[in-house]
């Protein structure tokens, strides 16, 4: 019931699995599998009807004639893996539960804004998954403050590496593959409007079934990434999936601040800190200026 990054092997802490975030010399975690929850600016968790999720009417026509990148917060290109020492920029977050069929669990995610004014038809949202299976993925999303719902189960997967040819390295030194996942969507969004997104994936068993994790969503620290990190705000999001509904929780991976620590039943923000720096999920958004050609899902 608490989030972990892909750093060193996790250990039980206060009834939750907490990965060893850093070595004694202060280097950050980054590898094996452990997950950390991070907050995204202290946002109200008010839920409204799904009808408020999306703007724009149905049956419009794209004003543009080509897809273009609307938000660019791609993979980091600098300070990668353990060789970067305390300046490591890359990390990956997932939930860690004691069962493969938990009644309450959290999906890793974040938010983005199209930086230019106007209305846009979004056709694709790209994220990166570290290790694990890419079968049965679902992209959840919604305008910030509205009900979060599944928006796509249609996607393509491409095995990729960083610009320097490396793959993701766990804190213990083990390599993990990086999968670029391009979800097909049909959304209409105003420039400057905040859209929350989350990735749901299959549970994988670790430590002989001692615990289970869902998909590890790739993230990085904006100041050390070396690449354009549009909209990074040092907050990560988690979607609380339970019988009482879907609630967005915020988390700062460095300080533990936000709302996630309360949802996880921890005594304070410091108990939820997961790294020695803040991080944001990497994401790229593609589409056209103008209204899309169908209703948002």
The tens digit of pLDDT for each residue in 237-258 reads: 999 998 677 899 999 999 999 9
Residue 214 φ then ψ, to 5°:
-95, -160
Q: Count other C-beta atoms under 10 Å from residue 163's C-beta.
A: 13
Q: How many CB atoms lie within 10 A of CB 210?
A: 11
Handedness of CA 89, 168, 179, 132 (dihedral sign): negative
CA 66/CA 7 separation, integer angstroms = 40
pLDDT at 140: 98
The token pair at 264 is 């996880």
H or E segment to which residue 23 belongs: none
pTM of the model: 0.80
Give 23's Cβ-side CA count (13 Å radius). Answer: 11
Token digits of residue 211: 């615990």
Helix (H) and strand (E) counts for the chain? 1, 21
**What are residue 269's phi and psi, to 5 degrees?**
-55, -40
Distance CA 169, CA 167 (A): 6
pLDDT digits (tens, 9 = 90+) for 90-105: 999 999 999 888 989 9
What are the average pLDDT values for consecutive 10-residue runs of the chain, which has 297 residues?
Answer: 42 26 30 34 27 30 63 98 97 93 94 96 98 96 96 98 96 93 97 97 85 95 98 97 86 97 94 96 96 52
């Amino acid at each position: 019931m608490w989030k972990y990054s892909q750093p060193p092997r996790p250990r039980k802490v206060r009834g939750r699995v907490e990965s060893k975030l850093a070595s004694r010399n202060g280097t950050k975690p980054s590898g094996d599998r452990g997950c950390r929850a991070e907050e995204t600016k202290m946002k109200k968790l008010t839920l409204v009807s799904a009808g408020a999720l999306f703007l724009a009417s149905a049956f419009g026509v794209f004003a543009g004639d080509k897809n273009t990148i609307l938000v660019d917060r791609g993979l980091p290109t600098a300070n990668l893996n353990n060789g970067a020492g305390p300046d490591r920029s890359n990390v990956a977050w997932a939930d860690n539960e004691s069962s493969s069929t938990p009644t309450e669990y959290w999906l890793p995610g974040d938010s983005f804004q199209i930086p230019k004014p106007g209305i846009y038809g979004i056709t694709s949202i790209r994220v990166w998954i570290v290790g694990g299976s890419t079968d049965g993925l679902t992209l959840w999303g919604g305008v910030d403050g509205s009900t979060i719902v599944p928006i796509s189960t249609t996607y393509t997967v491409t095995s990729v590496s960083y610009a320097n040819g490396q793959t993701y390295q766990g804190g213990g030194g083990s390599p993990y593959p990086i999968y670029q996942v391009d979800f097909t969507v049909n959304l209409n969004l105003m420039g400057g409007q905040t859209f929350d997104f989350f990735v749901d994936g299959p549970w994988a068993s670790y430590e002989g079934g001692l615990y289970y994790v869902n998909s590890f969503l790739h993230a990085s620290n904006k100041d050390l990434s070396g690449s354009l990190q549009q909209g990074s705000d040092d907050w990560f999001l988690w979607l609380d999936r339970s019988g009482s509904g879907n609630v967005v929780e915020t988390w700062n991976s460095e300080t533990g601040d936000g709302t996630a620590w309360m949802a996880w039943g921890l005594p304070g923000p410091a108990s939820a800190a997961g790294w020695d720096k803040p991080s944001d999920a990497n994401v790229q958004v593609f589409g056209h200026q103008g209204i899309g050609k169908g209703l948002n899902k």
